[in-house]
Structure 1
Amino acid sequence: MKNKQELRVYFNRWFSVAYHYMNSIRNNEDGVKFKLYGTHPDATHMALQAADYATTEPVLEGTAYIDFLVDFCRGHEIDVFIPRLRMLDIARNIGRFDEIGTTVTVCRDVELLEKLTVKDKFYEEVRGTGIMEVPAYEVVTDAEGFKRAYERLTSEGYRICFKPTDSEGGLGFRILNDNRNALADLFGYVTNELTFEEAYAILSRVESFPELMVMELLEGPEYSIDCLADRDGALLAAVPRRKADGRLRVLEQDAELIAIAHRVAETYRIPFNYNIQMRCTGGVPKLLEINPRMSGGLHATCLTGINFPYLGVKAALGGKIGPLVPEYGIMTSHIELSMRMQTFDQRISQSVSR
């Protein structure tokens, strides 16, 4: 690792859980001193509350956004940049960060990143390798294609769901359920279910729409396998995290899932922190997606004794990481905690340094 009195780590627009990841890096087991930087368009965003230096970032696209990031890293002499927003654009411009001495925790394989961001292309890739199972699916762009895919998959005995091919997390995910009670739903909780006829009627309003994956609904246990690798993609740790009831999560030593993580690492060599999301059906785990970044629930997985965020930074800086032995069989949950927010000076350039 760099021989500096204080290392500087920067998070651009992240999810609120970056609050935990910044603190994990700050409170590392090696006693390394860090200064944490964060930017977000929302000055009150939770992620910024853990930063030692926080400021708003402009809402930009393409080259203009990369220009902002490079200027920020250069101006603040950032040692490690942990991106979330626009990871593909950042990877395409990685040389600009190399030139200013900022190490970026992003997969430099642009072709692989492009596949990871479009689910059907990655499913095709994975199916060809045979390293794990993928759900049955079809990609459609119009209502008639949607209808044909629905009819084919239901004839094969599947329950059906659909989501955009390029969505993140659960955005756009819907379950088709022709047995739902619309009146009961109206008086109950908001649901992501609708009937085929409702979905078909909505999609028929336009001649075409962005690509949708119509696919089998996986109804068994859902797992997130949090992975840590070195700069060359060699796997250092893999911890399966199972969704249980409500907020409960169980950190399990599942040999089959850990073996899948090893095959993914050997095949794709994704560096640093990443996450494999899978769901079982009939006892068979099938791929949902791979996120080439820290997952939204990684702070729970850190309860195994492995400081994933800090070790990702350490790996990026070439630090030596010894054998990692996670503690399994842990059930986790979380509660809300009230806190006093750090205030910002309400100006065009809002920032706080502490």
Structure 2
Amino acid sequence: MKKKIWFNRWFSTAYHLMEAIKKNSDGIEFEIYGTHPVKDTVYFTVCDYYEVEPDLEAGEYIEYCLDFCRKHQIDAFIPYHYAPEVSENIARFWEIGTNVLVCEDFGLMDTMSHKGKLYESFQAHNLSSLVPAYRIVRTVEEFEEAYHMISNEGKKACFKPANGRGGAGFRVVTETENTVEDLFGPISHKITYANAVKILSSVSSFEELMVLEYLEEVEYSIDCLAYNGQLLAAVPRKKAAGRIRELEDVPELLDLANKVNSIYQIPYVYNIQVKYSQGKPKLLEINPRMAGGLHISCLSGVNFPYLAVKLLLNGYADVPIPKLDIFATHVEQSVMLSKKEQLVTN
């Protein structure tokens, strides 16, 4: 009988993750289930079954997930939406026979979900050299103090929500106003210091912002596969010019991956993001899930999505040594959204 795998409310590149699982080298067949609140979600075209999700708050959403797993007898649940809350309730999924591809340690999930807590944890584990200058702020006065602390060190400042995902809310702070040339150039994430202060001063307090030094050099994502405390594979994926990516053998980043594994022992598949400053890597975040660009790292010969599922369901997997020093890119692909007959709405 085919194993049933469910992805809930993922980003569009889950399309590639699903394909990687289906096109595994062992020839094992899976049924892929997908849900999302947008009815024309592209990864629905890869799914054997899909439906539109309801818009629910955390508690009700967990009940929806449990009901979905019961109804469809899901073998492996791969959560993205409300993943920390799923981790907190993982025993309830085990009770109904569903394995969950998520870190089982809710405390660790909570730490990784909050950038300030993660930085504090790095400092507590003698990894301070990897932490950029930063402050967590909730008022405009705290924002001004943090900005001046960073700028007085001769560094450019930026900020983003402490609990944010990806690039949401990210801004680089500048002293100068935009020019006409800026208006005709690419869309920018820049904001002037004066404008930031004006906006933030319109409220007495706001959700936690992390103000930190802007790291201007090259960025890497280190895709990791691990199980039972053992790091099985790590692939540093460099953001080169434009859409070019390089799978690169960088000893200090592979060493970092081993240190993170030895300290946190995050299971299955996760992603460490770093960016360089003055030739040294600095931590951006750790994503305890499959990354959006993971399909590029699969060009190393390591099928991360499939192997993670195999480890989850079977407890073992033969993992090849990654092939690095690979340049890659991706192109747009037209996908017809035509499988309306399989759509189920609640």
Deviation at 1:339, TM superposition (A): 2.4
Do the aligned residues in 1 keep the contact of 2:219 with 2:274 (CA within 8 Å)? yes
Instruction: Give distance in 2, aligned partners of 1:339 and 1:56.
Output: 19
Is 1:280 the counterpart of 2:273? The answer is: no
The residue that corresponds to 2:322 in the other structure is 326
Do the aligned residues in 2 keep the contact of 1:43 with 1:344 (CA within 8 Å)? no
For structure 1, which runs of at least 5 residues remain unmatched after alignment? none
Q: Secondary structure at the match of 2:314?
A: coil
Q: Which moved more, 1:131-140 or 1:274-283?
A: 131-140
Q: Which moved more, 1:79-88 or 1:199-208?
A: 199-208
Deviation at 1:247, TM superposition (A): 0.5
Do the aligned residues in 1 keep the contact of 2:234 with 2:257 (CA within 8 Å)? yes
Is 1:106 the counterpart of 2:99? The answer is: no
Superposed, which structure 2 residues align to 1:169-208 within 5 Å?
Answer: 169-208=166-205
Superposed, which structure 2 residues align to 1:247-326 within 5 Å?
Answer: 247-326=243-322
The residue that corresponds to 1:68 in the other structure is 64
Is 1:161 the counterpart of 2:151? The answer is: no
Do the aligned residues in 2 keep the contact of 1:272 with 1:312 (CA within 8 Å)? yes
Task: Give the structure-1-normalised TM-score.
Answer: 0.94
Instruction: Give distance in 1, aligned partners of 2:316 and 2:37.
Output: 36
Instruction: Give distance in 1, aligned partners of 2:308 and 2:207.
Output: 35
Q: Which amino acid aligns with 1:135?
A: P
Deviation at 1:323, TM superposition (A): 4.4
Do the aligned residues in 1 keep the contact of 2:302 with 2:319 (CA within 8 Å)? no
Q: Which moved more, 1:298-307 or 1:141-150?
A: 141-150
Do the aligned residues in 2 keep the contact of 1:233 with 1:272 (CA within 8 Å)? no
Instruction: Give distance in 1, aligned partners of 2:198 and 2:45.
Output: 44
Instruction: Give distance in 2, aligned partners of 1:300 and 1:102.
Output: 29
- 1:282-325 C-alpha deviation (Å, 9 max, x unpaired): 11101000000000100000001110000000010134223421
Task: Number of aligned residue pairs: give it.
Answer: 345
- 1:152-208 C-alpha deviation (Å, 9 max, x unpaired): 111111111111100000000000122453333233332101211111111111111
Q: Which amino acid aligns with 1:139?
A: I
Q: Secondary structure at the match of 2:102?
A: coil
For structure 2, which runs of at least 5 residues remain unmatched after alignment? none
Do the aligned residues in 1 keep the contact of 2:42 with 2:335 (CA within 8 Å)? no
The residue that corresponds to 1:136 in the other structure is 133
Aligned match for 1:217, one of 214, 218, 224: 214
Task: Give the structure-2-normalised TM-score.
Answer: 0.96
Q: Secondary structure at the match of 2:51?
A: strand
- 1:225-259 C-alpha deviation (Å, 9 max, x unpaired): 000112x2421100000000110110001110011
Aligned match for 1:16, one of 5, 12, 15: 12
Q: Secondary structure at the match of 1:176?
A: strand
The residue that corresponds to 1:6 in the other structure is 2
Q: Percent identity?
A: 47
Instruction: Give distance in 1, aligned partners of 2:304 and 2:213.
Output: 33
Change (3 A) 1:280 1:159: same
Q: Which amino acid aligns with 2:157?
A: I
Aligned alpha-carbon RMSD (Å) = 1.5
Instruction: Give distance in 2, aligned partners of 1:50 and 1:224.
Output: 26
